[in-house]
Amino acid sequence: MEIRNLKTFKTIVEIGGYTRAADYLGYAQSTVTSHIQAIEQELRKPLFYRLGKKMLLTEAGKHLLPYATEMIELYEKARHIPENDQEPSGNLIIGASESLTVYRLPTILHEFTNKYPQVTVTLKSSTCWQLRDELKQGKIDVAFLLDKERKEDDLHIEKLVTEPMVFVFPKEHPSGQTGFDDLAFTANETFLYTEHGCSYRDFFEDFLHQQGVITDHTMEFWSVEAIKQCVMCGLGVSLLPLITTRSEISEGKLQGTMVRDALFSTQMSYHKNKWLSPAMTAFVEIVRRQAKEWEQAA
């Protein structure tokens, strides 16, 4: 399976369509077609099907995409082997949820970039659902998820530290002094949610459903920091990771009720077929060492 054919396949997926891929790559459209046909003949399965004017991946195409991405990456890395192959270099694309980007990654990134300045680091913030998809598609190298523990056939998922969750209230809110077992919400409350794709939002909605709370008084935010500011000014109540609210609770700016048995954790994940380059190997080692310090500080 030739690298140029795989590059053509990946370009069609990313750009959308044979004609656009041909223009982008500087090929005749017949060349693009022949590249795809060569792969299909090897696999004995079609890679695309047409729905109206759209070219969509078949199941075989979906399975091939992460492998094609990895093979192209390996080819590029092999072409640029550094003179000192012990010194990590190249690119590292990291994905993380917003809360982990702010509260877990800064010290890791600081240490890594100081030790390995030859590595170009790109950081992408997204939801847990989107990060999993991007790992499977080979768009990012490693992701940090704040989620319940789960298994994925294609992904290596490694728990780093348990993350307690807390219901947060404005400082004068009567429920702020209530224990978890006695906590009861009403439909008169305004509930401030993180965006869809966040597992602890699902937990929050399920908790309200179990209490029989049905309400239209909800607001959705893309930012944990925005939620905290809105809770502090009395707009509503929310559910957030303790790491994001610890200082405000200790300073009396927020009230917090710890959630029992929420079972969320910070997790590091990468594709099971991912080749661990020297840069990624060094990065993973730093993460694991710092994660031990998180556990000790908890």
How is the beta sheet containing 264-271 ordered, strand by strand?
A: 119-125, 90-96, 142-148, 264-271, 155-162
Identify whether residues 22 and 73 lie together within a single domain.
yes
Identify whether residues 170 and 256 lie together within a single domain.
yes
CATH of the domain at 278: 3.40.190.10
The domain tally of the chain equals 3
pLDDT of residue 298: 64
CA proximity to 267, closest of 241, 251, 240, 287: 287
Return the bridge partners of 53, or none. none
DSSP assignment string, 212-279: T---S-EEEES-HHHHHHHHHTTS-EEEEEHHHHHHHHHTTSEEEEEPTT--EEEEEEEETT----HH
Mean pLDDT by 10 residues, the chain (298 residues): 89 86 88 91 89 83 89 75 67 92 95 94 90 87 91 90 92 80 82 83 86 82 90 91 92 90 90 84 95 82
Return the bridge partners of 145, or none. 267
Tell me, yes or no, whether 85 lies in a domain: no
Identify whether residues 170 and 131 lie together within a single domain.
no
List C-alpha distances in Å: 166 to 137, 148, 213, 287. 33, 15, 19, 25
CA proximity to 95, closest of 54, 47, 26, 146: 146
Range of the domain at 99: 90-162+265-297
pLDDT of residue 108: 96
pLDDT of residue 205: 87
What is the largest distance, in Å, between two alpha-carbon atoms of the chain?
Answer: 70
Q: Are strands 237-241 and 165-170 parallel, antiparallel or unpaired?
A: antiparallel
Segment holding 283, helix H or strand E: helix 278-297
Identify whether residues 145 and 181 lie together within a single domain.
no
Identify whether residues 54 and 138 lie together within a single domain.
no
pLDDT of residue 81: 60
Identify whether residues 254 and 196 lie together within a single domain.
yes
CA proximity to 90, closest of 66, 125, 123, 117: 117
Identify whether residues 192 and 244 lie together within a single domain.
yes
Identify whether residues 110 and 242 lie together within a single domain.
no
Segment holding 54, helix H or strand E: strand 54-57
Rounded distance between C-alpha atoms, residue 89 and residue 279, angstroms: 6
List C-alpha distances in Å: 83 to 80, 87, 217. 9, 9, 61
Tell me, yes or no, whether 84 lies in a domain: no
How is the beta sheet containing 165-170 ordered, strand by strand?
A: 218-221, 191-194, 237-241, 165-170, 254-258
Q: What are phi and psi of 150, to 5 degrees?
A: -155, 165
Query: Which of 53, 79, 105 delimits the end of a domain?
Result: 79
User: 80-86: long-range contacts at Cβ-Cβ below 8 A with a sequence spacing of 24 or more?
Assistant: 82/118, 85/278, 86/278
pLDDT of residue 141: 92
